[in-house]
Amino acid sequence: MPGFELFGAEEKKEVQDVLDNGVLMRYGFDGNRNGHHKALELEKDLATRMQTDYAQVVSSGTAALTVALACAGVGSGDEVIMPTFTFVASFEAILSVGATPILCDVDDTLTLAPGAVEALITDKTKVVMPVHMCGSMADLKAMKAICKKHNLILLEDACQAIGGTYEGKPLGSYGDMGCFSFDYVKTVTAGEGGGLITNSKLYADRAHQYQDHGHDHIGTDRGAETHPFLGYNYRLSELHAAVGIAQLRKLDHTLALQKKNYTLLRDALTIIPEVTFRRVPDGGEESYAFLTFFLPDKESAMEAHKALGLHGVDACFYWYYNNWHYYKKWEHLLNPTSLHKLSEEQMQGLQKNNSSYASSDAWISRTVSCLIKVGWSDAEVQERASKMVKALQSVFIIN
């Protein structure tokens, strides 16, 4: 999955352009740029690739979510429904705009369960935020129907799933807004960075202003710009954007490599009857960033994860006890601990979150995911497949 596996001359050229003209900041200094506006170029390329009218690049995936929520008018007193299985950035972004994250059970897609979402909707709910974890998606058709029924915003956190599709649309483009991460271990990396896509001119206009201190960007004198509203600094540097440009151009190639390696490994595991696979909703195609599968129960999943390591299969994850990605280790959220004071509305809203989510536990406790790398040779993939089969068979032969 990591785009850094494909770093090469293309990235160096784009970065050298920036170093040659000496302007590392996105805005201003137009006379020195020699026509290079890397962040703007990345935005145009991202919108084209994701088949949306607009794109805004920012400093991280977390920033992308934060800007998206702010542009949708989400804030104090509002609630955002999000899954129990995600990265901590999902709830950090919600809290940062003054809203409250409401945790929701996942199903065998490993993201939001539609029935569980609908059960959590109140008059304070403003957004439903499915997170397309490990390269695959929620049942977006059901999510969109729920949002339409209740007049809610559908915000796709596609930070781990760039390149996947649903009903022919790139992930991130199906809802009202979609967000990506371009950090170092993502399929498309800028080292650090993120992106927001939308077909809404209103959201797009707000986004380019909000991510740059509220500047309206009218005219050529940055010091004379006005501020229609408060904003913050979530800008992406020209250096990071330069890397992102080269990486995004490689996306189709990267996806093809991921799919090839994923398919070989998955096919190898089909001989093990105890292994079943994560459900990809009808009409969806994942990005093949991870091979995610279920074992019969928690105990066999833990043993399988251990056995994979003992057989030399690296980059495999057992999420149930993972520190960053599953609610069980989010003590700082479940028992709110913050350096700055959270609002009374947030504190009250956070009390709705439980210490136990049985449906999520039933799926995540059985789940193992293995990263798909794009730098493997064919021989290395074959060797990995053999090791994975032997490791998993060893669990069930012993039992």
Q: Give yes or no: 186 in active site.
A: yes
Distance separating alpha carbons of residues 392 and 394, to the nearest angstrom: 5
Name the nearest CA neighbour of 145 among 154, 133, 156.
154
Q: Which of 38, 144, 186, 250 is catalytic?
A: 186
* Residue 174 burial by Cβ neighbours in a 10 Å radius (0-12, 13-18, 19+): buried
Residue 147, CB-side half-sphere exposure with 13 Å CA sphere? 22
* CB count in 10 Å sphere of residue 214: 16
* Residue 208 burial by Cβ neighbours in a 10 Å radius (0-12, 13-18, 19+): buried
Distance separating alpha carbons of residues 290 and 282, to the nearest angstrom: 19
Spacing of C-alpha 237 from chain mean position: 20
Cα maximum dimension of the chain = 73
Contact in structure between 385 and 263 (CB atoms under 8 Å): no
Q: Give residues with Cβ within 8 angstroms of 195, minimum separation 6.
A: 42, 43, 46, 55, 56, 57, 58, 64, 179, 180, 182
Name the DSSP class of 198: E
Q: Looking at the annotation, which residues are catalytic?
A: 186
